[in-house]
Structure formats: C-alpha cells, structure tokens
C-alpha cells in the first residue's frame, strides 16, 4: 500500500498537497493557491514582509542603543552599589553572629534579619536586571537561527530568499546587547563574576578581622 507524504510543498504563491487516488495505489498532487488555505506558513510570506521585519529589527537595534546611552551609566552605578552592599551585608552578618557588635545593639537578631533581607533584595535586583538583559540577547540570537532554518527547510521564491539572506546578514552584523556604560556587557558571565568576586572579598575581610 502506498503511503501519503505528510509534507506540503510551497512555491510562495501556491502549495502542492499530496493525496492518494481511490484505490490507494498511486499518489497524486493537488495544487492550491496560497490564498485558498486557512493555515499560514512562514515560507509563504512575500519579500515585502521580510523587508518589513528588517525595518522592525533596525528600530529595535536603535532602541537598544538609546537604552545603553541613556541608562548605561545609571546601570553601572546600581551594579557597583549592589556589589558593595552585598559584600558589606554578608560581612556584617558574620560579625553579628560572632558577637562582634557595638553595645548599643540591644537586639542583634533583628539586625541579622534586617541584613539578610537587604542581601536578598540586593541579590534579587542584580539577578533580575542582568538576567532580563541576557534573555533578551538570547532571543535576538534565536532569531538568526530561525531565519537559517527557514532558508534550509522550505522551498522559497528567489526574491524571498534574497531578503532572508539580507536579514540574516543584518542580524549577524547588528547584534543586540546591553552594556553598563559600554564598559561590560550585561550577561550571565557578569553575574557569575559579581558573585565570585563578592565571595573573594568576603573571605578577605573575614581573614583581616
């Protein structure tokens, strides 16, 4: 018995649907216009739609550059502040646990709870800020991968292929990334560096005391 292929072939303006004849021994193909089908495929979009996506991506890149220029310095100050407060907060907790605190601290337990709450708030601010930027960058990189998948998987018209290649080149040459005043990128490696450096300074402060 002949098996019907499950794939639907497209030329951009029409689609070819495989089907069996009445005795299920041969495969015939039915050609339908793209407008006659209710489902939408990426590869049926015209080149004008890809151009529209390229313009949107260009606007997104411009918006990211504006964000970096306007809030990069503020973001750098916030990260430095949170980094310092994380180290001092943990160091204060260590001293309070060891009983090394001024006599006017009548309730050290309350101070420990306050310090722990502050550390959690500072760490949450760092993690949420940096991870949100990192996830945005990953989504932008995934866009380039999806464009390559479309180019390799589906039959396309020549003008659509040309625009997709230009789109892929645009994505590779204009990558999206967030920076702290252009000094360092806001990504997962920065978060690991911050916590590793914090541990190092906390150990040094504990040894000095």
The pLDDT value recorded for residue 4 is 41
pLDDT of residue 108: 74
Asked if 9 and 124 count as a contact pair (C-beta separation under 8 A), the reply is no
Mean pLDDT (the chain, rounded)? 79
Query: Each residue of 154-169: pLDDT tens digit?
Result: 778 888 889 999 999 9
Q: Given this model, what pLDDT does residue 24 score?
A: 45
Cβ(47)–Cβ(32) below 8 Å: no
The residue that leads in pLDDT, 63 or 27, is 63
Give percent of the chain above pLDDT 90. 42
Residue with the larger pLDDT of the pair 5 and 191: 191
What are the domain boundaries of the chain? 1-40, 44-208
More confident residue, 26 or 125: 125
pLDDT band at 37 (very low <50, low <70, confident <90, very high): very low
pTM of the model: 0.67
- What is the full DSSP assignment across 32-74? EEGGG-SS--GGGS-HHHHHHHHHHHHHHHHHHHHHHHHHHHH
* pLDDT tier, 181 (very low <50, low <70, confident <90, very high otherwise): confident
Does 73 have pLDDT greater than 70? yes
CA 199 → CA 94, 128, 135, 184, 192, distances in Å?
A: 13, 20, 25, 20, 11
Q: Check residue 105 and give its pLDDT.
A: 61
Q: Return the pLDDT at 1.
A: 47
> Model confidence at 150, in pLDDT bands (50, 70, 90)?
confident
CA distance 91 to 47: 60
């Amino acid at each position: 018995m002949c098996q019907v292929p499950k794939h639907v072939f497209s030329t951009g303006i029409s689609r070819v649907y495989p089907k069996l004849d009445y005795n299920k021994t041969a495969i015939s193909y039915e050609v339908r216009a793209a407008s006659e089908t209710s489902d939408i495929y990426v590869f049926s979009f015209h080149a004008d739609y890809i151009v529209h996506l390229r313009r949107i991506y260009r606007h997104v890149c411009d918006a990211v550059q504006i964000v970096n220029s306007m809030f990069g310095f503020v973001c750098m100050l916030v990260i430095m502040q949170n980094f310092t407060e994380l180290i001092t907060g943990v160091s204060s907790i260590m001293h309070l646990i060891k009983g090394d605190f001024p006599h006017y601290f009548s309730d050290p337990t309350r101070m420990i709870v306050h310090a722990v709450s502050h550390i959690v708030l500072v760490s949450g601010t760092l993690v949420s800020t940096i991870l949100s930027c990192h996830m945005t960058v990953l989504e932008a990189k995934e866009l380039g991968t999806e464009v390559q998948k479309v180019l390799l998987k589906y039959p396309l018209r020549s003008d659509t292929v040309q625009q997709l290649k230009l789109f892929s080149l645009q994505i590779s040459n204009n990558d999206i990334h967030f920076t702290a005043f252009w000094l360092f990128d806001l990504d997962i490696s920065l978060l690991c560096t911050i916590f590793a450096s914090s541990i190092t300074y906390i150990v040094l402060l504990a040894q000095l005391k």
